[in-house]
Amino acid sequence: MDVQILTFIIVGASFLLYIGIAIWARAGSTNEFYVAGGGVHPIANGMATAADWMSAASFISMAGLISFMGYDGAVYLLGWTGGYVLLALCLAPYLRKFGKFTVPDFIGDRYYSQTARTVAVLCAIFVCFTYVAGQMRGVGVVFSRFLEVDIVSGVVIGMAIVFFYTVLGGMKGITYTQVAQYCVLIFAYLVPTIFISIIVTGHFLPQTGFGATLADGSGVYMLDKLDGLSLELGFNEYTSGTKSMIDVFCITAALMVGTAGLPHVIVRFFTVPKVRDARYSAGWALAFIAILYTTAPSLASFGRVNMIETINGTDQMGTNYSDAPSWITNWEKTGLITWDDKNNDGKMFYSGDERNEMNVDRDIMVMANPEIANLPAWVIALVAAGGVAAALSTSAGLLLVISTSVSHDLLKRNLMPNITDRKELFYARLAAGVAICIAGYFGINPPGFVAQVVAFAFGLAASSFFPAIIMGIFMKRMNDKGAIAGMLAGITFTTVYIIYFKFVNPAANIPENWLFDISPEGIGTIGMLVNFAVALVVMKFTGESPEEIQQLVEDIRYPKGAGEASAH
C-alpha cells in the first residue's frame, strides 16, 4: 500500500475521531462553549493544554528551525518551555482564583474600566490572528504534500475542517478533541524519531542518541559529524551560535513572557472545577509537553545529517537529479523544495555558500524526515496525522479566544449587555467563521516560517498582556489609566518594529540595522519594558487604584481560608 493511500486512511480515521468527539461533546450553552462547563479532569485538561500549547510551531517547525539554525534555534526550545513554567507557577492559580476566564475579562474588571477591556479585546484578537496564521500555514504544509495539491489548496482544506469542529463543539468539544490530538501527535513525533535514532546511533532513546557515537562503527560522535559537515559545506558550525547574546536573551525572554500572556492557554485553567485542579493540570501539561520538547533536538540533528547525505551523497559530491530520491520529487510538487542547476552538470548540491543549488523550506523538515530516512509508509502517514493534529488543536483554541473576545468581552460585557445566551453563542460562532477566513489568508501569505510567525505573536503578547496581568496581580496600586497606556504603548512599539523589518523594508532586516542588535523575533522584550515603564509613569501622575480594587487584589493573592479558595 503506497504512502498516499495510507495517509488518507490514517489522517481520515483521525478526522473521524475528532469530529465524532466534537459531536459527542458539542456545546449546548455559553458556559460549555467558553470553558467546557468547568468540569474537566486535571489529567485530561493537562493533556488538552499540552495539545493546545504544542502547535504547528512545536510539531512542524521547531525541529526544522533547530535543524537549519543549529545552536541558534535552541532559543525557541528554551523560551517556550520556560514560558510555560512561568505561566503555571506565577499566573494560573491567581487568574483562576479571580474567576474571569478571558484575559480581557480579567483586565476589564481588575482595572475597573470598559476602555481597558476594549483595548485588551483588540490586543487579544491581534495576537491570536498572528498566531493562528502560523497554524494555518502548518496545516497547508501537511495537506499540500500528502494530498498532492498546492499549499493554497492545503490551507483552504484545513480552514474547512477547523471551522466545523470549532464552531460546533466550542471549548467542551475542543477539550476532548485535543486529548485525542495529543495522543496522535506525540505518538507520531516519537515513533519516527526512535526509528531514526536506532538507525543512526543504535540508541532506542533519541535523547541519549543525540550525544552518542554513530552506529557505523567509526567512533565519531553524531554532533561532531554534523559540525564537520556544516563547516565543509559552508554553513556555520552546528553547535556554535551566531546570534548576539542580547538577541538570544531577548528572543528567549519574549517567548517566555509571551507564553504567560497567551489568552488561549490561560483560559485552559478555567475548564477544571477547582483552583487546586488548575495547579495539578498545569503540572500534568508540563510533563506531557516535556516528552516532545526533549525529543526535538534529536530529531533535528538526525534529520539534518540524513538530508545532507541524501542530497549530496555520502561523498558530498552531489547526486544526479535523475536519481533523486522520491522525497525530493514529492516535495517539489508543493513548491517547498526547488532545484536550480547552476553549473549544468545535472547534479543536485546543497551547501551554505555560492555552490548551493537547493532551496529547502525548513518547515518541511519534520514532515519529510521519515521519507528521507526511508522509513515504512505507515510511519510517514502517521507523521502527517500528527502534524495535522498539532496545527488543528491550537488553531481551534485560538479561534475560540477570538470568538469569545468578540461575543463575550466586546458585545456582552460592553456594547450589547442585554443579549441572550443564544444570541451571544450565535455571535461567537459567527466571529469564529470570520476569523478562520482572515487566518486562512495569512496562512497562504505568511510573513515568515511557521515558528517565526508564532514568535511574533508571542512578542505581541509579551508587550501587551504580560505586564498588565503581572501588575494586576502583584501591584495593587496600578490603576486603569496606567494599564491602558502601557498596553497601547507596548503593542504599538512592537508592531511597528515587526512591520517595518518584515513588510516595509525587509532588505534592512539585518543585525546592523536592528535596535540594540535585537531582531524582530525578540523585540517583544523591549516592548514589554516600554509597557511597564509607561504604565508606572502614568500611574505616578494619575493616582492609585481605588481602595476596593486594592482589597480585591489582596484577596486574590492571600485568600481567606485555603479550603474555601480551592473550592471556587
In tens, the pLDDT along 142-193 reads: 777 777 777 788 888 878 877 776 665 555 556 777 788 888 889 999 999 9
Task: Report residue 376 CA to chain centroid gap.
Answer: 29
State the Cα–Cα distance between residues 210 and 214, nearest whole angstrom.
Answer: 10
Which residues are within 8 A (CB) of 379 and not within 5 positions of it... i.e. 6 or more apart? 191, 192, 195, 370
Choose among 227, 233, 228, 203: nearest CA to 215: 203
Distance CA 509, CA 357 (A): 24
pLDDT score of 565: 40
Q: Cβ atoms within 10 A of the Cβ of 509, count? A: 13
3-303+374-443+452-566 CATH fold: Hydantoin permease (1.10.4160)
Q: Of all residues in the chain, what percent carry a pLDDT higher than 70?
A: 89
Apex CA 376: angle with CA 70 and CA 301, to 5°? 10
CB 470 within 8 A of CB 103: no
pLDDT at 532 over 90: yes
d(C-alpha 230, C-alpha 304), whole Å: 10
Q: What is the mean pLDDT of residues 193-202?
A: 94
Query: Would you state the pLDDT for residue 176?
Result: 74
Which whole number is the average pLDDT over 276-282? 78
Q: What nine digits make up the cell of 28?
A: 449546548
Contact between residue 333 and residue 148 where contact means Cβ atoms under 8 Å apart: yes
Position 278 pLDDT exceeds 50 = yes
Please give the residue that has the higher pLDDT: either 347 or 414.
Answer: 347
Using pLDDT thresholds of 50, 70 and 90, give the confidence band for residue 205.
very high
pLDDT score of 280 more than 50: yes
- What pLDDT does residue 463 have? 94
Q: Phi then psi for 320, rounded to 5 degrees?
A: -60, 130
Nearest-angstrom CA–CA distance, 86 and 92: 9
pLDDT of residue 430: 84
Q: What's 348-407 look like in SS3?
A: ECCCCCCCCCEEECHHHHHHHHHHHCCCCHHHHHHHHHHHHHHHHHHHHHHHHHHHHHHH
Cβ atoms of 20 and 169 closer than 8 Å: no
Q: Which tops the pLDDT comparison, 273 or 294?
A: 294
Residue 330: pLDDT band with limits 50, 70, 90: confident
Rounded to 5 degrees, what are φ and ψ at 479?
-105, 180
**pTM score:** 0.82
pLDDT for residue 22 is more than 80: no
pLDDT value of position 566: 43
What are 194-201's contacts with CB under 8 Å, separation 24+? 195/370, 195/373, 195/375, 195/379, 196/299, 196/302, 196/303, 196/306, 196/369, 196/370, 196/373, 196/375, 197/298, 197/302, 199/373, 200/302, 200/305, 200/306
Q: Characterize the bridge pairing of strands 347-348 and 358-360.
A: unpaired
Report the pLDDT value the prediction gives residue 449, as an integer from 0 to 100.
59
pLDDT at 39: 63
Among residues 519, 52, 79, 538, which one has the least CA distance to residue 285?
52
Cα distances from 47 to residues 123, 176, 177, 294, 333, in angstroms, run 27, 9, 10, 17, 35
Higher-scoring residue by pLDDT: 41, 338 = 338
For the ranges 387-396, 423-432, 451-460, 504-513, the one whose mean pLDDT is highest: 504-513
Under the banding of pLDDT at 50, 70 and 90, the label for residue 351 is very high
The 10 Å Cβ neighbour count of residue 523 is 29
Question: Which pLDDT band holds residue 562 (cuts at 50, 70, 90)?
Answer: very low
pLDDT bin (cut points 50, 70, 90) of residue 563 is very low
**Structural domain spans, the chain:** 3-303+374-443+452-566, 308-370
> Residue 405 — very low, low, confident or very high, per pLDDT cuts 50/70/90?
confident
Q: Which residue has the higher pLDDT, 83 or 541?
A: 541
Instruction: Give CA–CA dist 334/149, Å, rounded.
Output: 7
Mean pLDDT, the chain, whole residue set: 83
Segment 85-127, tens digit of pLDDT: 777 777 777 777 777 667 788 898 899 998 998 898 888 888 8
Give yes or no for residue 413 having a pLDDT over 90: no
Mean pLDDT of 257-279: 73
DSSP summary character for residue 342 = T
Residue type, 481: K
Q: Answer yes or no: are the C-beta atoms of 180 and 15 closer than 8 Å.
A: no
Most confident range, picked from 16-30, 356-370, 376-390, 404-418: 356-370
Q: Report how far apart, in Å, the C-alpha atoms of 505 and of each of 450, 499, 510 are.
A: 20, 8, 11
